Amino acid sequence: MTIKPLVLLPDPILRQQSQPVERFDAELDRFVEDMLETMYDAPGIGLAAIQVGEPRRLLVIDIAGKDEEKNPQVFINPEIVATGDGVSVYEEGCLSIPDYYADVERPDTITVRHLGRDGKEHTTEADGLLATCLQHEIDHLNGVLFIDHISKLKRDMVVRKFTKLARQRVTA
């Protein structure tokens, strides 16, 4: 298993549309293992393939608490097929935008149709943190970041800060 380097804001890769996964083979299995390892190492509770530079419609999530057993979940070609009427607000962060957090309002319940690692179809009803996390990660597959859900003023500030940081990384 390999820990993959994370793609950071403002890398334009993060704005790419990811493509559906079509092959369910040993390579995909290895990739899923690498994704999980990378997420746990970060550590984070969710990671989309595009965040390691791979435009595939695939994401991993584990929202288990610190003292709970690991609960890795893999969502391939996920699609939101229904959303609830209520909204919830969570303070979100993103492994591609380290150390920045902001409140985001999203539907509080969703139904997601997706494939598992075995290529079989599943339906997941999510609420609470899982609903928010899934929406955040599915956004990534469409080139959308959580900062797109906050005010333009705040977003511009974050992008400026990370653009400056990226420049420092290149010249350091």
Q: Which residues are catalytic?
A: 137
CB of 8 to Ni ion, least distance (A): 11
CA atoms within 13 A on the CB side of 159: 15
Give long-range contacts, CB 8 A cutoff, 24+ apart: 38-41.
38/2, 38/3, 38/4, 38/6, 39/95, 40/70, 41/3
What is the spatial distance between Cα 136 and Cα 146, in angstroms, rounded to a whole number?
6
Which region, judged by CB under 5 A, interacts with Ni ion, from 76-84, 88-96, 117-125, 149-157? 88-96
Residue number, nearest CB to Ni ion: 94
Smaller CB distance to Ni ion: residue 77 or 96? 96
Smaller CB distance to Ni ion: residue 39 or 94? 94
Please state, as a whole number, how many other Cβ atoms lie within 10 Å of the Cβ of residue 135: 22
CB of 125 to Ni ion, least distance (A): 22
Size of site (CB under 5 A) for Ni ion? 1
Q: Does 94 bind Ni ion (CB under 5 A)?
A: yes
CB of 9 to Ni ion, least distance (A): 10
Q: Which residues contact 54 (CB under 8 A, 6 or more apart)?
A: 18, 31
Which region, judged by CB under 5 A, interacts with Ni ion, from 55-63, 80-88, 90-98, 152-160? 90-98
Q: Does 133 bind Ni ion (CB under 5 A)?
A: no
Reduce the DSSP state of residue 44 to 3 states and report it.
Answer: coil
Please state, as a whole number, how many other Cβ atoms lie within 10 Å of the Cβ of residue 151: 10
Smaller CB distance to Ni ion: residue 61 or 76? 61
CB of 57 to Ni ion, least distance (A): 15
Asked if residues 14 and 140 have their Cβ atoms less than 8 Å apart, the reply is yes
**Which stretches of the chain bind Ni ion, using CB under 5 A?**
94
